[in-house]
Amino acid sequence: METKRPIIIIKKKGGHGGHHGGAWKVAYADFVTAMMALFIVLWLLNSSKQIQEAVGGYFKDPTGTSKKVGSNMVGAGENFVLTRDNMPKLKDQLQQAMRQLSDFEKLKNHIEMTVTTEGLRIELSESAAGTFFDSGSPKLNADGNELLIMLAQELGKLPNKLSIEGHTDSKPYVASANYGNWELSTDRANAARRLMQANGIRDDQVTQVRGFADQRLRKPDTPLDPSNRRISLIVQYILKNGDEDEKPTAQGGESKEKPDAGKLSASEKPSAGK
């Protein structure tokens, strides 16, 4: 009788052929980091100069205790903080933008920008026939609309606060006994505010609207000079650490410090009218 053969059961273990290690994870992480750095560089190359300075300022001084070149506006790429150190840069930028206006050659003698202790003061002075406003009226004309819209689009990018002032010459306003230079100067400042807030200026960016009538003449020796009739836009400083000892002048005051004369030019021919 034949002997029965034993039953042999072979069990095969499943699984991977072996352990390959985690080196691929390190290589993949390096690849992702390199790609992120590439995209950041490409983004910076196509960004504005202000963004490049802000990013560069952060890497030079991450704590923000140096010159504070970077912006303190979270998520606002086009915004940068204007302090005493870089306010002249805004003046140059606005001068370049104004040269693109359709009637710049006609308007340039009536636009003056000066850096003062209060901030950047932009003066838009009138002529005898009316440069930015209809004569004797708070209504802006076409040139006034174009210039103020351009300024609103540029200044609306900034975190800095603005003040708007209206001024007249000393010629009495005779249209009505109940309406005079005080009302006209205030109404013109408000007309400028409304137009600028509708075209780029934030609602909370304008802190003051002031009318001074003829109490702060641009040319005191010639009180009837039409250049005394003007709108003033003041881009106020944002103080950084150490600036508190050199605060701007009190509300509405013209700077007593000798300004950095950054004017395009000023009108010199006296004439009557509003």
The answer to whether residue 217 sits within a structural domain is: yes
Q: Is residue 73 located within the same domain as residue 53?
A: yes
Q: Is residue 96 located within the same domain as residue 216?
A: yes
- Over residues 203-242, the pLDDT tens digits come to 899 999 999 999 999 999 999 998 899 999 999 988 665 5
The answer to whether residue 269 sits within a structural domain is: no
Of 45, 60, 80, the residue that ends a domain is 80
pLDDT at residue 249 is higher than 60: no
Of 32, 63, 80, the residue that ends a domain is 80
Rounded CA-CA distance 182/166 in Å is 9
Tell me what the pLDDT averaged over the chain comes to.
77
φ, ψ for residue 199, nearest 5 deg: -135, 30
The answer to whether residue 17 sits within a structural domain is: no
Rounded CA-CA distance 230/188 in Å is 9
The answer to whether residue 149 sits within a structural domain is: yes
Q: Is residue 180 located within the same domain as residue 244?
A: yes
Q: Is residue 147 located within the same domain as residue 70?
A: no
The answer to whether residue 12 sits within a structural domain is: no
Q: Which residues pair with 119 in a beta bridge?
A: 236
Rounded CA-CA distance 242/39 in Å is 37
Q: Is residue 56 located within the same domain as residue 178?
A: no
| Angle of CA points 167, 172, 176, to nearest 5° | 105
Rounded CA-CA distance 98/101 in Å is 5
Q: Is residue 145 located within the same domain as residue 230?
A: yes
Of 39, 61, 80, the residue that ends a domain is 80
The answer to whether residue 221 sits within a structural domain is: yes
Structural domains in the chain (count): 2
Rounded CA-CA distance 142/30 in Å is 58
Contacts of 111 (CB under 8 A, 6+ apart): 98, 122, 123, 124, 125, 147, 263, 264, 265
Q: Is residue 33 located within the same domain as residue 123?
A: no
Which residue is it, tokens 């003007």?
230
Give the global pTM: 0.59
**For residue 64, what are the domain limits?**
24-80
If you average pLDDT over residues 15-26, what whole number do you get? 68
Q: Is residue 124 located within the same domain as residue 238?
A: yes
- Which residue, among 271, 269, 265, 274, has the nearest Cα to 124 in the 3D structure? 265
Q: Is residue 116 located within the same domain as residue 98?
A: yes
The answer to whether residue 169 sits within a structural domain is: yes
The answer to whether residue 15 sits within a structural domain is: no
Q: What is the pLDDT of residue 167?
A: 94
Q: Is residue 52 located within the same domain as residue 129?
A: no
Quickly state the pLDDT bin for 130 (edges 50, 70, 90): confident
| Angle of CA points 94, 95, 97, to nearest 5° | 60
Q: Residue 119 sits in a domain of what CATH number?
A: 3.30.1330.60
Q: Is residue 194 located within the same domain as residue 130?
A: yes
Q: What is the pLDDT of residue 69?
A: 40
- Over residues 71-110, the pLDDT tens digits come to 343 333 344 566 777 778 888 888 888 888 877 888 888 8
- Over residues 163-214, the pLDDT tens digits come to 999 999 998 877 667 888 999 999 999 999 999 999 999 989 999 999 999 9
Q: Is residue 56 located within the same domain as residue 128?
A: no
